[in-house]
C-alpha cells in the first residue's frame, strides 16, 4: 500500500458472516485488540462463537455491523449504532493490531459513513472515544468530527478516564 490516500481502493465493507469466525477468534487472541475494545481476554471460543453467531443472525433494529476487508480479507468491523432517523453512532474496530496506525480505521470509517449515508439516509454521525485513545481521537478529528462534549468515564487500557463525544454533520443535509 502506498499511503493513506490509496487505502480506499483496498478497503471495503461487507455484511459479516459466520465464515468470518476464524478471523474473529484470531482477534480474540490479540491482547492489545481485546484491551482496546473491551473484549474479555482468554474468552472461550464457544462463548465467542455464540456472540458472533448472534451478531450475524440476530442484529438489533437500530444497529448494523459490517465487516471491514483489506484486499478481500476481513480485518475488523464497522458499526452504525443507535440509528434513529438520520442520526447514528459510528464505531470502528480493526481486529489485527499490527495494522493499527496505518490509516485503515479512517478509510474504513469513510466507507461505513458513505454506506450509511447512501443506504440509510444518515447525515449526522456521532462517535465516542476515551480521552487516552489518541489514535481514535486523531482519526475522528481528521475525518472532520468535532468534539461536542466530555461526559462519562470508563476504563481504557487499565486507565480510568473521560469519554469524549464527537459529531460530524454531512454538508447539505438538514440537522
- The DSSP secondary-structure symbol of 71 reads T
pLDDT the model gives residue 4:
45
Question: 59, 67 in Cβ contact below 8 A?
Answer: no
| Structure-derived torsion over alpha carbons of residues 10, 11, 12, 13, reported in degrees to the nearest 10 | 160
pLDDT the model gives residue 153:
83
pLDDT the model gives residue 1:
39
pLDDT the model gives residue 172:
63
Distance between CA atoms of residues 90 and 82, nearest Å:
9
pLDDT the model gives residue 155:
79
- The mean pLDDT values, 10 residues at a time, for the chain of 175 residues are 58 96 96 89 94 93 96 95 97 93 94 96 96 92 96 82 95 56
Closest alpha carbon to 130 in 43, 35, 4, 27: 35
Name the strand (E) or helix (H) holding 105.
helix 104-120
Distance between CA atoms of residues 74 and 19, nearest Å:
10
Amino acid at each position: 500500500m502506498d499511503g493513506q490516500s490509496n487505502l480506499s481502493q483496498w478497503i471495503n465493507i461487507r455484511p459479516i458472516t459466520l465464515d468470518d469466525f476464524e478471523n474473529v477468534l484470531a482477534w480474540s487472541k490479540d491482547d492489545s485488540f481485546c484491551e482496546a475494545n473491551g473484549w474479555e481476554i482468554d474468552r472461550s471460543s464457544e462463548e465467542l462463537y455464540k456472540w458472533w453467531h448472534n451478531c450475524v443472525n440476530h442484529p438489533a433494529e437500530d444497529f448494523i455491523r459490517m465487516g471491514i476487508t483489506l484486499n478481500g480479507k476481513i480485518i475488523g468491523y464497522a458499526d452504525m449504532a443507535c440509528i434513529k432517523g438520520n442520526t447514528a453512532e459510528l464505531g470502528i474496530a480493526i481486529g489485527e493490531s499490527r495494522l493499527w496506525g496505518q490509516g485503515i480505521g479512517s478509510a474504513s470509517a469513510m466507507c461505513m459513513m458513505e454506506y450509511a449515508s447512501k443506504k440509510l439516509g444518515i447525515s449526522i454521525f456521532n462517535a465516542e472515544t476515551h480521552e487516552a485513545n489518541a489514535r481514535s481521537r486523531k482519526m475522528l478529528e481528521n475525518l472532520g468530527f468535532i468534539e461536542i462534549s466530555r461526559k462519562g468515564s470508563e476504563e481504557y487500557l487499565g486507565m480510568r478516564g473521560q469519554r469524549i463525544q464527537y459529531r460530524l454533520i454531512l454538508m447539505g443535509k438538514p440537522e
